[in-house]
Amino acid sequence: MERGRNRKEKRPLTMPHQGLLLFRMAPLCMLLGMLMVSCFNFCLCHKNSEFALTNPEKSSTKETERKETIAEEELEPKILEVFHPTHEWQALRPGQAVPAGSHVRLNLQTGAREVKLQDEDKFQTNLKGSKKGKRLDINTNTYTSQDLKDALAKFKEGAEMENSKEDQERQAKVKQLFRPIEELKKDFEELNVVIETDMQIMVRLINKFNSSSSSLEEKIAALFDLEYYVHQMDNAQDLLSFGGLQVVINGLNSTEPLVKEYAAFVLGAAFSSNPKVQVEAIEGGALQKLLVILATEQPLTTKKKALFALCSLLRHFPYAQQQFLKLGGLQVLRSLVQEKGMEVLAVRVVTLLYDLVTEKMFAEEDAELTQDMSPERLQQYRQVHLLPSLQEQGWCEITAHLLALPEHDAREKVLQTLGALLATCWDRFHQDTQLHKTLGTLQAEYQALAALELQEGEDEGYFQELLDSINSLLMELR
């Protein structure tokens, strides 16, 4: 199952840029972190949630820079020792780097810099109050100079107790960091760093995309960057709140295939497990627009992203599934899998259908067993007449033919789907001599592969699993 995981591929392109910048800023982060412990329990080092550090000159990231970033990232692990935080506070030693998203603080009792994994839940609640449109203002911290002096005194005490050379060096470094706030601000100015909230960044990106004076390249870059932010549920909902979502949805009917593609890319991420956004997207016409892209002549990459956005819009949203069926979505997908040059999309389509079939089945089963689904939601699932439509529209045959695909993972998905369609398609499958032949051939092939797997000591291996599903299909179809 695809499960929208391919979005992860993109992460390394944008993250290291910020990660690296942050690392260079580590000393500043440390001081700031210390200054802010009492107001926020997280600091600038904590990218990706509330505050982001961006360098305005660099924010319109272009390909060349991304390449550099990747090259830089490749170097990084050789230079730095990376510390892997846990959910407990642990002392960080000099020269150790922490992964983005970690929580760093200065322990005033011991003078040590400590790190732990961000605690999602707490973080969310902490954030709720301070969220919208807030700028980080280093003057408003509640840290007093007395606290700093006390902390310094602790360092001195500590230095007397443990006086290994390394520790002394570390403490000298830490002391250097106690500089007046004015100096700190100057550093920020020199670095040309602006502290922007995710919301502000999204507004800026949407304005860039929405502006008629932006070039195509700028628009695409804005969407590309935006995709990173909308993975977070809160951000995706914020996008909705200022009208940004609709702007992106309208991008789906742009005349530029690339704009369509990247708009779909952003939407796929924004819809993912985000019911509020999914509902708004349906109201905003996203479903029709996605189907139009899939039904008309478009480059393969555009259709791929549109299909991804469609999957993410339909999942766990029975109302959208009903609309999809009403709008003729199954016919659109059928033409798509039969279109020349779109074969690679066929497996994704079949996977989507498998997901929808099993989702409805589990929802109905769950509702009976646990009774904790709302009656409205169950009613909506009941109104998704998926299986009869699939049968009427020839999906039994289409799916059976796809078993001829050469890749193992494609066959795996097709076998899964055949299993899910078995009750509905039994007559068709039973009479389909080609299907029986194909299953026979595959059975022999996977018997051999499973035997090899077994020789290598794997007794519940991948090929054995495929073989098991083939065997059970053959048995059911007898």
Ligand X SMILES: *[C@@H]1O[C@H](CO)[C@@H](O)[C@H](O)[C@H]1NC(C)=O
CB of 256 to ligand X, least distance (A): 9
- Which of 29, 37, 151, 206: binder of ligand X (CB under 6 A)? 206
C-beta closer to ligand X: residue 209 or 317: 209
C-beta closer to ligand X: residue 61 or 253: 253
Within residues 138-167, the interface with ligand X by CB under 6 A covers none
Q: For the chain, what percentages of helix, strand and coil (3-state, to nearest 5) are there?
A: 70, 5, 25
**What are 33's two structure tokens?**
């972190």
Q: Is 202 in the site for ligand X (CB under 6 A)?
A: no
What φ, ψ does residue 300 adopt, rounded to 5°? -55, -40
C-beta closer to ligand X: residue 118 or 254: 254
Instruction: Identify the three-state secondary structure at position 104.
Output: strand
C-beta closer to ligand X: residue 170 or 208: 208
> Which residues are CB-neighbours of 288 under 8 A, at least 6 positions away?
327
Q: Which amino acid does the sequence have at 200?
A: Q
CB of 420 to ligand X, least distance (A): 35
Which conformational region is residue 457 in: left (phi greater than 0), alpha (psi within -120 to 50 degrees), or beta?
A: left
Q: At what angle do helices 257-271 and 300-314 cross, to 10 degrees?
A: 20
Cα dihedral value 58, 63, 65, 70, nearest 10? 130
**What are 201's two structure tokens?**
């960044």
C-beta closer to ligand X: residue 283 or 368: 283
| Stretch touching ligand X by CB under 6 A, among 75-83, 203-211, 295-303, 393-401 | 203-211
C-beta closer to ligand X: residue 33 or 244: 244
CB of 43 to ligand X, least distance (A): 31
CB of 14 to ligand X, least distance (A): 23
Dihedral (CA of 124, 14, 185, 105) sign: positive
**What are 18's two structure tokens?**
């910020």
Within residues 16-45, the interface with ligand X by CB under 6 A covers none
> Which residues are CB-neighbours of 97 under 8 A, at least 6 positions away?
23, 26, 80, 81, 82, 83
C-beta closer to ligand X: residue 102 or 246: 246
C-beta closer to ligand X: residue 90 or 250: 250
CB of 317 to ligand X, least distance (A): 21
> Which residues are CB-neighbours of 19 under 8 A, at least 6 positions away?
47, 100
Burial call 354-368: b when 16+ CB within 10 Å, e when fewer: bbbbebbeebeeebe
Q: For tokens 């005194």, what's the residue?
A: 153
C-beta closer to ligand X: residue 206 or 403: 206
Interface pattern 265-304 for ligand X (x via CB under 6 A): --------------------x-------------------
CB of 223 to ligand X, least distance (A): 13
Q: Is 210 in the site for ligand X (CB under 6 A)?
A: yes
Q: 81-82 and 96-97 as β-strands: parallel, antiparallel, unpaired? A: parallel
Q: Is 254 in the site for ligand X (CB under 6 A)?
A: yes
Q: Is 200 in the site for ligand X (CB under 6 A)?
A: no
CB of 244 to ligand X, least distance (A): 6
CB of 242 to ligand X, least distance (A): 6
C-beta closer to ligand X: residue 290 or 337: 290
- Which of 253, 424, 469, 471: binder of ligand X (CB under 6 A)? 253
d(CA 51, CA 195): 7
C-beta closer to ligand X: residue 99 or 243: 243
Burial call 211-241: b when 16+ CB within 10 Å, e when fewer: eeeeeeeebbbbbbbbbbbbbbbbbbbbbbe
Within residues 231-250, the interface with ligand X by CB under 6 A covers 243-244, 247, 250
Q: Is 378 in the site for ligand X (CB under 6 A)?
A: no
d(CA 304, CA 232): 22
CB of 246 to ligand X, least distance (A): 7
Judged by CB under 6 A, the number of residues near ligand X is 10
CB of 214 to ligand X, least distance (A): 11
CB of 262 to ligand X, least distance (A): 13
Q: Which residues, listed in sequence order, are joined to residue 196 by a DSSP beta bridge?
A: 52
**Cα 162–Cα 164–Cα 169 angle in degrees, nearest 5:** 105
- Given the rule CB under 6 A, which residues bind ligand X? 206-207, 210, 243-244, 247, 250, 253-254, 285
